[in-house]
Amino acid sequence: MAQPVLYLSHGAPPLADDGLWTGQLAAWAGELGKPRAVLIVSAHWEEAPLTIGATTTVPLTYDFWGFPQRYYQVRYPAPGAPELAEQVRKLLRTPATPVADDPARGLDHGAYVPLVEMFPDADVPVLQISMPTLDPVVLVEIGRRLAPLRDEGVLIIGSGFFTHNLSGLDLGRDAAHTPPSWSSEFDDWGDRAVAAHDLDALVDFQRKAPAARLAHPRTEHFAPLFVSLGATVDSQVQHRAVIDGYWYGLAKRSWQFG
């Protein structure tokens, strides 16, 4: 049976302190079972050409600043996935689309923060690849070309945030406070568009969605969704929102496809 594909809202390092959210991620992983490997695309790695990260266990990439020291002491020594990396090269590399390697780049927080909660034993091989562009059409095609990995037991994850405007955060309030209208309106639109398999509207979200420019002043946190959608676009699988709600006003909606 083919593995499902996920799009999840990954949270900042303090996600580890949110008992509700960590419990939701752990329960989700329990339903999924253990995949052969994880292939993850994070909002926090944009690099062209598309680049394959470390295929051995290397230190994490702590790509954040100004947090308490304990967040920089997190370790996640997941095994590398060199065989998966070679499969990715074969699926994606063409004369017109080169694939590069960065063997020293460890998992960034968009990858390891949720994986620590979902597969805490760090016993599932993980491979991270970069987003070479934020163009939804190109990212859908990348996902489509990666789709055969699902039949090989690979769990494909797009890791972003369903709404992401850090200037709109109010960390002085409770994490579960009522979200601003720009976040809730975009979240409702996106929920309905994904559930309806309306890929055309989603690809054109910057013009079609309400409050799109406020929900995503820059689109890197929505972009991983398109890789996930592409990996299932030809199979008409069921779409299911597994996590919803808000974290300091940002929509943490997360999806399972298949």
The string of pLDDT tens digits covering residues 80-111 is 999 999 999 999 998 888 999 999 999 999 99
Residue 115 has pLDDT above 80, yes or no: yes
- Position 134 pLDDT exceeds 80: yes
DSSP per position, 45-61: EE-SS-EE--SS-----
Quick one: average pLDDT of 142-152? 98
Tell me the pLDDT band of 64, cut-offs 50, 70 and 90.
very high
pLDDT of 173 strictly over 90: no
Q: How confident is the model at residue 176 (pLDDT cuts 50, 70, 90)?
A: confident
Compute the C-alpha angle 79/253/205, nearest 5°. 105
Q: Is 41's pLDDT higher than 90?
A: yes
Q: Decide if 112 contacts 74 (C-beta within 8 A).
A: yes
What's the whole-number mean pLDDT along residues 7-34?
A: 93
pLDDT of residue 219: 98
Cβ–Cβ < 8 Å for 198, 248: no
- The stretches of 153-211 forming alpha helices (DSSP H) are 181-195, 199-203, 205-208
Region of residue 249 (phi > 0: left; psi between -120 and 50: alpha; otherwise: beta): left
The pLDDT, as a whole number, for residue 106 is: 98
**Statement: residue 239 has pLDDT above 80:** yes
- Residue 206: band (very low, low, confident or very high) from pLDDT cuts 50, 70, 90: very high
The Cβ-side half-sphere exposure at 92, using a 13 Å CA radius, reads 29
For 217-240, b where at least 16 C-beta lie within 10 A, e where not — what string? eebbbbbbbbbbbbbbbeeebebe
Domains located in the chain, CATH noted: 5-257 (3.40.830.10)
Residues 6+ away with beta carbon under 8 Å from 23: none
**pLDDT tier, 14 (very low <50, low <70, confident <90, very high otherwise):** confident
Q: How far is Cα 90 from Cα 94, in angstroms, rounded to an integer?
A: 8
Cα 161 from Cα 148, distance rounded (Å):
26
Residue 27: C-alpha distances to residues 30, 92, 125, 212 (Å): 5, 32, 20, 31
